[in-house]
């Protein structure tokens, strides 16, 4: 009964998320709509947190096989769509056998491997292939992505025949779980207080986030007494990340597989993509 209610609640949250995402997509982005978009993004972030936060004991917690003890000096996670040969890469790097086959959902658990480099032990984790909608729970997606924040580095393995499309989708899936790739925490001071209202100041010019939008976002979170200092050109997304306080910033390297299937000219174009 508890599990059924939890799933019904998740479905309701997913509907609300889809509605807000549609409104954001429809809204033209300019200074006039910045305030409206900021509020929508804040509501979206709250719903996403509600969706991925475990509810009570038991329930929809992590599934068996998706928990690996972190015992080494560093951890590297392999993330990618189904059948992009992450397992083959792990086998070549660490000599670890992970079942490989030409059909989907081959790896259903996390397969670890360890290499030694300059005296350090580095743990590799081959995570089960994710699918679009993983952040919303499809294909055991939440359990898979929940492991990624424990990594010191993420390798996103891409099929070279459709790298940019898959790259964007995977970044969106990880981003929906609060994972920020190849970026640093926003340079925003944030200090709650007992009284005194909202004091939002900027030490440099702001191109997007104005005082009205910032205060509205904070009010959406029912934060009415806080000192916020914008020490760099900030966005509503940056402020929301700081308020949420659960974002993880991880370096990422993109690995292209099957490069023998494209021309040198095509590879030269893809090579210009960062990281």
My answer on whether 202 and 114 are in the same domain is: no
My answer on whether 120 and 177 are in the same domain is: yes
- Mean pLDDT computed over 53-62: 49
My answer on whether 142 and 258 are in the same domain is: yes
How many domains does the chain divide into? 2
Rounded CA gap, 11 and 202, in Å? 40
Predicted local distance difference test score (pLDDT) of residue 243: 96
For 189-216, what is each residue's pLDDT tens digit?
A: 999 999 999 999 999 999 989 999 999 9
Residue 42 covered by a domain: yes
Predicted local distance difference test score (pLDDT) of residue 180: 95
My answer on whether 132 and 264 are in the same domain is: yes
For 1-23, what is each residue's pLDDT tens digit?
A: 554 555 556 778 889 998 999 99
My answer on whether 16 and 45 are in the same domain is: yes
Confidence label for 115 from pLDDT (cuts 50, 70 and 90)? confident
DSSP 100-141: --SSSS---S-EEEEEEETTEEEEEEEPPPB-TTGGGTGGGH
| Whether the Cβ atoms of residue 262 and residue 161 lie closer than 8 Å to each other | yes
- Mean pLDDT computed over 236-256: 94
Residue 36 covered by a domain: yes
For 145-198, what is each residue's pLDDT tens digit?
A: 888 888 999 999 998 888 888 899 999 989 988 999 999 999 999 999 999 999
My answer on whether 129 and 192 are in the same domain is: no
My answer on whether 53 and 124 are in the same domain is: no
- Mean pLDDT computed over 21-33: 89
Q: How many CB atoms lie within 10 A of CB 223?
A: 15
My answer on whether 47 and 81 are in the same domain is: no
Residue 65 covered by a domain: no
- Mean pLDDT computed over 90-108: 58
DSSP 37-82: HHHHHHHHHHHHHHHHS--SSSTT-PPTT------SSEEEEEEEBT
Nearest by Cα to 163 from 54, 38, 10, 266: 266
- Mean pLDDT computed over 113-120: 84
Predicted local distance difference test score (pLDDT) of residue 145: 80
My answer on whether 100 and 194 are in the same domain is: no
Nearest by Cα to 101 from 133, 62, 129: 129
Range(s) of the domain holding residue 195: 2-59+186-244
| Mean of all residue pLDDT scores within the chain | 83
My answer on whether 134 and 203 are in the same domain is: no
């Amino acid at each position: 009964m508890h599990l059924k209610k939890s799933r019904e609640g998740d479905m309701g949250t997913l509907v609300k998320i889809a509605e807000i995402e549609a409104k954001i997509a429809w809204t033209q982005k300019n200074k006039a709509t910045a305030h409206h978009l900021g509020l929508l993004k804040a509501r979206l972030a709250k719903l996403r947190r509600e969706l991925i936060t475990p509810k009570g004991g038991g329930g929809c917690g992590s599934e068996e096989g998706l928990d690996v003890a972190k015992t080494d000096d560093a951890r590297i996670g392999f993330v990618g769509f189904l059948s992009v040969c992450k397992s083959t890469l792990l086998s070549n790097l660490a000599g670890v056998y992970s079942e490989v086959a030409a059909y989907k959902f081959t790896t259903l658990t996390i397969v670890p491997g360890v290499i030694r480099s300059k005296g350090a032990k580095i743990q590799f984790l081959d995570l089960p292939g994710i699918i679009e909608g993983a952040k919303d729970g499809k294909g055991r997606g939440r359990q898979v992505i929940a492991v990624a924040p424990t990594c010191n580095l993420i390798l996103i393995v891409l099929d070279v025949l459709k790298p940019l499309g898959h790259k964007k989708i995977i970044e969106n899936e990880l981003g929906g779980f609060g994972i920020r790739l190849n970026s640093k925490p926003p340079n925003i001071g944030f200090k709650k207080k007992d009284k005194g209202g909202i004091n939002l100041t900027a030490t440099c010019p702001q191109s997007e986030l104005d005082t009205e939008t910032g205060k509205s976002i904070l009010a959406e979170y029912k934060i009415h007494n806080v000192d916020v200092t914008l020490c760099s050109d900030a966005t509503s997304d940056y402020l929301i990340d700081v308020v949420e306080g659960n974002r993880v910033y991880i370096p990422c390297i993109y690995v292209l597989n099957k490069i023998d299937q494209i021309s040198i000219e095509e590879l030269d174009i893809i090579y210009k993509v960062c990281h």
